[in-house]
Amino acid sequence: MSYVAPVKDMLFNIQHLANIEQIAKIPGFEDAGFDTAKAVLEEAAKFNGDVLAPLNFEGDKNPTSWKDGVVTATPGFKEAFKQFVEAGWQGLQHPADYGGQGLPKTIGSACCEMQNSANLSFALCPLLSDGAIEALLTAGSDELKATYLEKLVSGQWTGTMNLTEPQAGSDLAAVRTRAEPLPDGTFKIFGTKIFITWGEHDMAENIVHLVLARVQGAPAGIKGISLFVVPKFLVNKDGSLGARNDVHCVSIEHKLGIKASPTAVLQFGDHGGAMGYIVGQENRGLEYMFIMMNAARYGVGVQGIAVAERAYQKAVTFARERVQSRPVDGSASAGASIIYHPDVRRMLMTMRAYVEGCRALSSVAASAYDAAHNHPDADVRKVNQTFYEFMVPLVKGYSTEMSLEVTSLGIQVHGGMGYIEETGAAQYYRDAKILTIYEGTTAIQSNDLVGRKTLRDGGQNAKGIASQIEATEAELRKNGSANAQAVAQRLQAAREAFLDVVNFMASTSNPNAIYAGSVPYLMLAGNLMAGWQMARALLVAQQQLAAGVDAAFMQAKITTARFYADHLLTKAPGLRNSIVEGSECVTALALEAF
């Protein structure tokens, strides 16, 4: 099945929820208004639909391969990557100073969704490059920026992120990779890194590894970790490529999904030491790496939306075509397509509402990022940064967990045919599973949401966002329509459930009681924030409908927002009860009883 990018829905969010015209008033973004967004998204839709989407199923059947240290991408990927680079897609959001187009994240994130819908395995490569670029922009020396950034921004070279080791997964304090200083200020790197996405491949001239390691004599734990650039090929003073560095891929993993994306085991320093160049200051590596991780975490949330959208489109196509049984209301003769059946419609509406809610949430978060990083007013930057930081674990955690439910429903809509690999529905389910794990599991996102984003200020920021939601409820009640009234009622109940949890966590001294409910809290908060954006969308759609603008789209948006409120937001009070009233039983069972 071909992929058709949901450009109209993306532009609706960009224009009405993310307020692109306000972003275009920020210095540097003057040419990035709605017309630019429309032109860029339409071009992105063509490229992703025509070039990347047809390779997705092929990548699942014929994964990237490894032989004698050489990794060869799925047939067609190298040629597609060349087109990707030549069209300038890698540099879309990066500074013009280094050859990028300098467009806001509000536009760029929609293009990233298209890439990931079209071909998740392929899109992981530029995603990791984006993270490397962000880290070097923030902490790299002038020399490192001059050497690497232009080639990374163009896509001529790609980037990776090297954190995990066999004994150090989420616990980065256990990192053992070591860095030995040399008299000229460079370092020799020794160690093993695992789970390195696109850590070796044949699609680009060079691969720029960003590697966490310990300088000899550094403090123990996370306080002694530094960040290094370790290129696959050393770079000569004139910018040309030199000798092969002492970093080699010793194997790639055999995975449940994202099979065309090579997940490499990299060995540094087997032949005398890999040359490394420190990023920023010694012992601040984790701080810099989190710049990459936060960029990647938002990006992984967008991946969840993307794979869910692809699964939804496939399920709708199948439901229209699959003939099975007579509708229960007799509205069609025997042998009608299954889209007539109420339960199939329920599944399709659930998929649609989840995707549209999370897409709206990601778009609003991207807008806050743009204001936080570029607005001339320091107070505006601060408010938006706080809002964006609260949203990142929700975009990552809620959208990826959502993608599992949606891709599973996609298989269910197909029935037995969905369980057969040849139909392609199962690939989305398998691909989606990793999204709840890499770049920090859902539990790690929830720990961040609880500890850093909620409890650090006693819940004040969370309550401030809740007050904005309450203002939307008031707008809904003033609207007067039956749909607006119903959504206001559901939104209020979800908001009050959210506040009950925030107050419970802020007033509880038992950490086990708090963190027993951390993932349910993330799911409640993500559900509420996405539902809030759908409520805002309903208000806009009713105004547009009254003005005679695109009646079919606006009516569908109103219906989807109402479905979200009645079928998804209604989960919030139940989550509240499990967190506030059910924490003790989570840890009550004796360990030996398991």
Among the options 113, 165, 389, 439, which is catalytic?
Answer: 439
CB < 8 Å & 24+ apart, contacts of 340-347: 344/319, 344/413, 346/567, 347/315, 347/409, 347/412, 347/413
Residues 577 and 457 in one domain: yes
Of 561, 142, 77, which Cα lies nearest the Cα of 354?
Answer: 561
CB 229 within 8 A of CB 208: yes
Beta-ladder partners of 65:
72
Work out the pLDDT band at 1, boundaries 50, 70, 90. low
Residues 133 and 201 in one domain: no
CB 106 within 8 A of CB 23: yes
Q: What are phi and psi of 267, to 5 degrees?
A: -110, 120
Residues 49 and 183 in one domain: no
Signed CA dihedral, 239, 241, 245, 248: sign only: positive
Residues 76 and 186 in one domain: no
Integer Cα distance of 575 and 531 in angstroms? 15
What's the number of domains the chain is made of?
Answer: 3
Answer yes or no: is pLDDT of 115 > 70: yes
CATH code of residue 272: 2.40.110.20
Q: Looking at the domain assignment, is residue 407 inside a domain? A: no
**Domain boundary residue, one of 247, 268, 283:** 283
Residues 133 and 41 in one domain: yes
Residues 460 and 593 in one domain: yes
Q: Looking at the domain assignment, is residue 85 inside a domain? A: yes
Q: Looking at the domain assignment, is residue 76 inside a domain? A: yes
CATH code of residue 115: 1.10.540.10
Give the mean pLDDT of the chain: 96
**Domain boundary residue, one of 283, 305, 326:** 283
Q: Is the pTM of this model over 0.85?
A: yes
What pLDDT, in 10s, does the model give residues 221-238?
A: 999 999 999 999 999 999
Residues 479 and 572 in one domain: yes
Integer Cα distance of 304 and 355 in angstroms? 9
Answer yes or no: is pLDDT of 480 > 90: no
What pLDDT, in 10s, does the model give residues 145-163?
A: 999 999 999 999 999 999 9
Beta-ladder partners of 505:
none
Catalytic: 439?
A: yes
What pLDDT, in 10s, does the model give residues 394-417?
A: 999 999 999 999 999 999 999 999
pLDDT of 292 reads 79
Integer Cα distance of 554 and 540 in angstroms? 9
Give ∠ CA 427-253-436 in degrees, rounded to 5.
55
Tokens of 241: 């490529």
**Domain boundary residue, one of 260, 283, 306:** 283
Residues 554-567 have a mean pLDDT of 98
CB 14 within 8 A of CB 104: no
Q: Looking at the domain assignment, is residue 248 inside a domain? A: yes
Answer yes or no: is pLDDT of 334 > 80: no
Q: Looking at the domain assignment, is residue 344 inside a domain? A: no
Residues 137 and 181 in one domain: no
pLDDT of 508 reads 95
Integer Cα distance of 302 and 395 in angstroms? 7
**Residue 488, domain extent:** 443-594
* Helix axis angle, 460-479 to 378-414, nearest 10°: 70
pLDDT of 294 reads 84
Integer Cα distance of 154 and 141 in angstroms? 19
Residues 455 and 526 in one domain: yes
Determine which of 132-141, 142-151, 164-173, 302-311 has the lowest per-residue pLDDT on average.
Answer: 164-173
Tokens of 377: 């007013």
Residues 134 and 214 in one domain: no
Tokens of 555: 């009516």
Determine which of 162-176, 425-439, 526-540 has the lowest per-residue pLDDT on average.
Answer: 162-176
Tokens of 60: 């699942």
Query: Between the CA of residue 378 and those of 18, 371, 384, 421, what are the distances in Å?
Result: 20, 10, 10, 53
Residues 516 and 549 in one domain: yes
What pLDDT, in 10s, does the model give residues 161-220?
A: 999 999 988 888 899 999 999 999 999 999 999 999 999 999 999 999 999 999 999 999
pLDDT of 293 reads 85
pLDDT of 331 reads 76
Q: Looking at the domain assignment, is residue 528 inside a domain? A: yes
Of 395 and 335, the one with more pLDDT: 395
CB 271 within 8 A of CB 263: no
Cα-based torsion angle of the residue sequence 432, 439, 60, 71 in order, rounded to the nearest 10 degrees: 180
Share of the chain above pLDDT 70, in %: 99
Q: Looking at the domain assignment, is residue 388 inside a domain? A: no
Q: Looking at the domain assignment, is residue 531 inside a domain? A: yes
Share of the chain above pLDDT 90, in %: 94
Residues 271 and 161 in one domain: yes
